[in-house]
A and B are shown apart, each in its own frame.
Chain A
Amino acid sequence: DTGVSQDPRHKITKRGQNVTFRCDPISEHNRLYWYRQTLGQGPEFLTYFQNEAQLEKSRLLSDRFSAERPKGSFSTLEIQRTEQGDSAMYLCASSLEGSEAFFGQGTRLTVV
């Protein structure tokens, strides 16, 4: 296992379409996080899971956003009815409880 893997790396979609991103964490990590990073800014927390339980969601995560981690392994982040303001880098990270997070390379979403 070489690290956190995210797919796709880049996604261009038309406004109003739905998109889904996948994150595969480091295999022994029980925590998984999603962050959003816009140009010139630091990552902003969206949500995190401990095993399959989603323990916290940011106010940034509107009802168009949903995240799952069905078996406590990989996770998906879905954005419904995309808007231009959703254009950003979506970062996934994983960790052991009580330890620092390791980040994937991110999925860059462009909504046109």
Chain B
Amino acid sequence: GDSVTQMEGPVTLSEEAFLTINCTYTATGYPSLFWYVQYPGEGLQLLLKATKADDKGSNKGFEATYRKETTSFHLEKGSVQVSDSAVYFCALSLYNFNKFYFGSGTKLNVKP
């Protein structure tokens, strides 16, 4: 079935370190891929998206490239800040965005 697998956390980094959170997917069709972020006490917010192979989504210094050959959508940021501490969810959607499949989330802790 359709699913998303992302690396387990927590991930602890020092400020200004490089971030990678791995995400791979299994899908029966051609999904759109997303990263959502959940800050403490808040709802999920869309961070970035990519709707077809080789697309790169980017926002707030975060980037992810839709790799069909490796079925991956890894999240990267060159220099993390304390304010990036949150839980990050990788997700996919098929069939005109009628529903989303989420990974289990990766908690990021950034220390000053």
Tell me which residues across on chain B come within 8 A of A62, comparing CB atoms.
Answer: none
B98 touches A40 (CB 8 A): no
Tell me which residues across on chain A come within 8 A of B105, comparing CB atoms.
Answer: 40-42
Question: Does B42 reach chain A (CB closer than 8 Å)?
Answer: yes
Question: Does B62 reach chain A (CB closer than 8 Å)?
Answer: no
Contact residues of B between 59 and 112, Cβ < 8 Å to A: 89, 91, 93, 96-105
With most chain B CB atoms within 10 A of its CB, the pick from A40, A43, A44, A93 is A43
The 8 Å CB contact of A101, one of B4, B42, B100, B101, is B100
Chain B residue with minimal CB distance to A47? B99
Tell me which residues across on chain B come within 8 A of A42, comparing CB atoms.
Answer: 4, 89, 91, 102-105
Question: Does A33 reach chain B (CB closer than 8 Å)?
Answer: yes
Cα-based distance from A101 to B93 in the complex (angstroms): 10
* Nearest CB of B to A2, in Å: 12
How many A residues are at the interface, by size bracket? 20 to 34
* Nearest CB of B to A32, in Å: 12
Do A43 and B98 contact each other (CB < 8 Å), given the known contacts A91-B44, A100-B46, A103-B43?
A: no
B99 touches A45 (CB 8 A): yes
Question: Does B12 reach chain A (CB closer than 8 Å)?
Answer: no
B99 touches A102 (CB 8 A): no
The 8 Å CB contact of A100, one of B34, B101, B103, B104, is B34
Cα-based distance from A9 to B99 in the complex (angstroms): 23
Do A103 and B97 contact each other (CB < 8 Å), given the known contacts A40-B104, A41-B104?
A: no
Cα-based distance from A106 to B46 in the complex (angstroms): 15
Tell me which residues across on chain A come within 8 A of B26, comparing CB atoms.
Answer: none
